[in-house]
Structure 1
């Protein structure tokens, strides 16, 4: 890409576009969201320490390779630090705003009183979070690295 020879996806322009899309789609969202985007697994964009982290990938759509992002949730720094957990979901870059809108919409609809995003992510298993992102039941999991067990230690219950 323009900024990094190792990047799989271009993140600077994508991040600006994504923020504009989310602000337009969810003007009344009342929680802070730490969203980090990395263009590759090296994680210079620190997707592992965000509420919602996106890692750049490529996927084949209609016979062509396109930019895509792999989702991780629940990361943080500070008193309740934790690495985000990969949940086995990825989608083409142009589908990311809609997927995040569905996920945050589910949070708004199903959150418990006083529950923040990290607590919501910790309360739901990977399959449920994939379903929120996809807007439907997801039968196939991205093979990269499904979480082997419960959420990492340090997540607020």
Structure 2
């Protein structure tokens, strides 16, 4: 928008060099998030790190089904929804859960929102689950595979969620919700995405309008 016709190719080349020229807008690999703890002091979790982890997992899944490719995923580093998690087909917002004396970076899960242009805006439903951050890509894969395995012919993701029900989705994720006990074997789950130290919740003044 607002780019002179003669400059479009130059701008496109620049975007490609920055890694922003890939196709797939408004498709499942096009994960949207706010900066989270990368720059916002209201952030609870590294939503940008989670963004990249989910996108990597989705690419590994090699999703070719046209209906599945329409699923949109969003993540926010806190409940304020700068990442618009509340209007995604699958959305996450940052949280922290206790495990003994320590905290685990985690996410609440929303399902059934809709932010697709031209469609009616829909708010997602909050599931009664909280997932340690490092288990979220597993949760995404489970929900996608659940949809592919059990949907009716031509049934969109949100329609399947409405038919299958909230509890069915919660049950699919239940075993991922238990916080780990801290040990050398589980230490990675106490470290947020793209971080190198044990997670501690630290908050201050944010960069959103809240």
Runs of 4+ in 1 over 6 A off after TM superposition: none
SS of structure 2 residue aligned to 1:4:
coil
2:198 alignment partner in structure 1? none
In angstroms, what is the RMSD of aligned CA positions?
1.9
Contact 1:99 1:134 in 2 (8 A): no
Give 1:145's aligned residue.
none
1:72 is aligned, of 102, 107, 110, to 110
Distance 1:22 1:66 in 2: 24
Is contact 2:71-2:89 (8 Å) kept?
yes
Structure 1 match to 2:137: 97
Unmatched segments (≥5 aa) in structure 2: 1-36, 178-210
Q: How does 1:38-49 map to 2 (within 5 A)?
A: 38-49=76-87
Find the partner of 2:50 among 14, 21, 39. Answer: 14
Would you say the 8 A contact 2:90–2:111 is kept in 1?
yes
Instruction: Give ranges in structure 1 of 5+ residues lacking alignment.
Output: 139-157
Partners of 1:100 and 1:13 lie apart in 2 by: 15
Counterpart position of 2:23:
none
Q: Secondary structure at the match of 1:80?
A: coil
Q: Provide the secondary structure at the position in 2 that maps to 1:91.
A: strand
Greater C-alpha radius of gyration = 2
Structure number with the higher helix fraction is 2
Give the match for residue 147 of structure 1: none
Q: State TM-score, norm by structure 1.
A: 0.79
Q: Would the aligned equivalents of 1:102 and 1:135 in 2 still touch at CA under 8 Å?
A: no
Query: 2:83 and 2:77 mapped to 1: Cα distance?
Result: 7
